[in-house]
Amino acid sequence: MSEQASPDARYRRLRRRLRQRRGLPLESGATRPRRLSLPGNSILSTFDRPMLAIVLLMLTIGSLMVFSATFDWSRETHGTASGFFVEEHLRNLGGAVFLMLFFAVVDYRFWKRFAVWLLLVTIVLLVAVLFFGEEVFGARRSFTAGRFQPGELAEFAIVLYLSAWLGSRRSQPASLLYGLLPFLIVIGVIGYLIVRQPDLSSAAIVVMTAGVIYFVAGANILHLLGIAIMSGSVGFFLLQVWPYAQRRVDNFLAGWSDVTLSEYHTLQAITAFLRGGWFGVGVGQSQQKFGALPAPHTDSIFAVIGEELGVLGAAVVVALYICFAIRGFQLARRAKDDFGALLCVGFTSWVIIQALLNIAVMTGAIPSTGVPLPFISFGGSSLSVVMVGVGLMLSVQRVATRCAATSERSNELANTNRGGRHRGSYLSRAGDSPDLAARGG
């Protein structure tokens, strides 16, 4: 066989020459170069395991507490203690996990092109729910018997859109005309439509999450101060316009001087924590969930945790959210582009803001709002959009891992083929031919 037709022979001679030059013993046998196994070749190996562990642990705690909070109601409505849990919660949970895995596998940069379209669809749905949504307690917030709330989709859409816009090279976050003004228009339109439902808690989450993304993207501090003053003024005006909001604030302020004057929801949550003590009364043994706590499986589930698992159990949940925040910002630092970094910052902030609002309400730190506890409360659209956010964060990590592995592989191959008179790397020479590299120069 000719030398030209034998790449193995050329490779063996090149290896022998390099090892002789470096004073290494010669290899025996014709062996091909070892294939480098990239982490990207295995999907599971590129998933961020700490983030997955944190999320799965919270989902497990949430499933346990949802079952505990609903078994009595499920027995009355479904005929069995596990009917609601199996038919509703596990179905929603399975769909949410599937969405997380799907968005984790697909390159997150693929979705950047749909950011504007998702925002427009969200605006249409926010307008539609005002006319065709189901009215519950004087508010129009959802379709399909409360299973889908456009306000929750708006929280997701605003993170994706701002990350795509502010993460592009043409963005100018510190500019008044090309940064602050478009930002205020987008946030103003979304916030106004959500407030019209009315849903002050979702509007507050949108504004605060958007503010964090805008700050990280490089906004002018004075612009952020102006946004804060404007948001506070709007909130004060709404308190004067809507009696129910003013009543919640009055009850909250009265509770600071006398806890018995607190709003009913807050008072029952505090009672649950007092009954639980340090170690709790045991899983399934809560008494407040039997009619005293409103929505014990959604908005009030943290109070159920405090009663059944005690202060220590509630502290574990808080610690998990702290770990989620730390890991989320670490993923942002490892992202390969600004879009990925802002996605991680935005979704991490979004989850933490929701958790803080829910926990603050249950502990009487702020007036009552209707915010679920992410990953733990029962939910359909709320759980799904949060898990999609986690999937995108995992995708950011996967892309960063694959890029790092590819770079490492290139460096190792360059070092392996480094030889010749001037120790130059043949990989870095665009015009070198394979035969020239095989001859060592």
Nearest CA to 173 out of 216, 228, 118, 226 is that of 216
Q: Which helix (H) or strand (E) holds 50?
A: helix 49-77
Q: How far is CA 386 from the centre of its chain?
A: 6
What are the two backbone dihedrals, phi and then psi, of residue 317, each rounded to the nearest 5 degrees?
-65, -45
The pLDDT score that the predictor gives to residue 415 is: 57
Which residues partner with 142 through β-bridges?
134
Reported pTM: 0.80
Nearest CA to 212 out of 366, 329, 383, 330 is that of 329
Can you tell me the distance from the alpha carbon of 104 to that of 118, in angstroms, rounded to the nearest whole number?
19
What are the two backbone dihedrals, phi and then psi, of residue 424, each rounded to the nearest 5 degrees?
-85, 155
Residues 6+ apart with CB under 8 A from 430: none
Q: pLDDT (tens digit, 0 to 9) for every residue of the chain, 441 residues total?
A: 444 446 666 666 666 665 555 454 444 444 444 443 444 445 667 788 999 999 999 999 999 998 888 887 777 777 777 777 777 888 889 999 999 999 999 999 999 999 999 999 999 999 998 888 777 766 777 776 667 788 888 999 999 999 999 988 777 888 888 888 999 999 999 999 998 888 888 888 999 999 999 999 988 888 888 888 888 888 777 777 777 677 777 766 766 666 666 677 778 888 888 998 888 898 888 888 887 788 888 888 999 999 999 999 999 999 999 999 999 999 999 998 999 999 999 999 999 999 999 998 888 777 777 788 999 998 778 899 999 999 999 999 998 888 766 665 556 555 555 544 444 443 343 444 444 344 443
User: 74 with 420: CB under 8 angstroms?
Assistant: no
Would you give the DSSP letter of residue 87?
Answer: I
Q: Residue 198: is the preceding peptide bond cis (ω within 30°)?
A: yes
Can you tell me the distance from the alpha carbon of 299 to that of 365, in angstroms, rounded to the nearest whole number?
15
What are the two backbone dihedrals, phi and then psi, of residue 30, each rounded to the nearest 5 degrees?
-90, 105
Domain assignments of the chain as residue spans, ordered by start: 43-403
Q: What is the DSSP string of 351-417?
A: HHHHHHHHHHHHTTSS-------TTTS--SHHHHHHHHHHHHHHHHHHHHHHHHHHHHHHHHHHHHT
**Tokens 């390969």 sit at which residue?**
336
What are the two backbone dihedrals, phi and then psi, of residue 148, each rounded to the nearest 5 degrees?
-130, 120
The pLDDT score that the predictor gives to residue 423 is: 46
**Tokens 């409103």 sit at which residue?**
294
**Both structure tokens of 358:** 């829910």
User: Helix %, strand %, coil % for the chain, to 5?
Assistant: 70, 0, 30
Which residues partner with 74 through β-bridges?
none
The pLDDT score that the predictor gives to residue 24 is: 45
User: 112 with 55: CB under 8 angstroms?
Assistant: no
Would you give the DSSP letter of residue 176?
Answer: I
The pLDDT score that the predictor gives to residue 241 is: 73
Q: How far is CA 267 from the centre of its chain?
A: 31
- Terminal-residue alpha carbon distance, the chain: 24
State the sign of the Cα–Cα–Cα–Cα dihedral 191, 303, 384, 167. Answer: positive
**Tokens 């709404």 sit at which residue?**
238
* Whole-Å CA distances, 331 to 112, 327, 356: 18, 6, 21
Nearest CA to 395 out of 52, 157, 36 is that of 52
